[in-house]
């Protein structure tokens, strides 16, 4: 079992930055690809970013490319999401997720392919 706990969310003005953290426990994430997803009020959960365990390749939703950066520190068992140039449309609950041994774009960008999920952290961007 892998337990995931997100932190770093909060209220920020448009144009600002936040860094989310996802701390894992129970197992090493070194063989897990990690993803970030978000869900805005009244909308379905959507893919944001992912990073492969295999070669640390990263994948991003078009809406966040160039603004968000996902990274991982296996020694700390933690994954990060650096979010810059935030927009009101980025307001959502952000959750991290873990996928064991998967590493392709098609797999990592699909919600149903993840094995473990955190509870999420709220990000609110004011205009």
CB 21 within 8 A of CB 79: yes
Q: What is the pLDDT of residues 45-88, one digit of tens each?
A: 999 999 999 999 999 999 999 999 999 999 999 999 999 999 99
Q: What is the pLDDT of residues 3-51, one digit of tens each?
A: 999 999 999 999 999 999 999 999 999 999 999 999 999 999 999 999 9
> Distance between CA atoms of 91 and 38, rounded to whole angstroms?
9
Whole-number pLDDT of residue 90: 98
CA 86 to chain centre: 15
Mean pLDDT, residues 96-109: 90
> Distance between CA atoms of 21 and 83, rounded to whole angstroms?
11
> Distance between CA atoms of 31 and 101, rounded to whole angstroms?
6
Residue 105 has pLDDT above 90, yes or no: no
Residue 107 has pLDDT above 90, yes or no: no
């Amino acid at each position: 079992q892998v337990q995931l706990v997100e932190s770093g969310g909060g209220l920020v003005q448009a144009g600002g930055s936040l860094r989310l953290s996802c701390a894992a426990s129970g197992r090493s994430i070194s063989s897990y690809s990690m993803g970030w997803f978000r869900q805005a009020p009244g909308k379905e959960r959507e893919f944001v970013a992912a990073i492969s365990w295999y070669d640390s390749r990263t994948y991003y939703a078009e809406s966040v490319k160039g603004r968000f950066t996902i990274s991982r520190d296996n020694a700390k068992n933690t994954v990060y999401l650096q979010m810059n140039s935030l927009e009101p449309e980025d307001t959502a609950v952000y959750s991290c997720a873990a996928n064991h041994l998967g590493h392709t774009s098609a797999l990592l960008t699909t919600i149903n392919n993840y094995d473990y999920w955190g509870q999420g952290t709220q990000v609110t961007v004011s205009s």
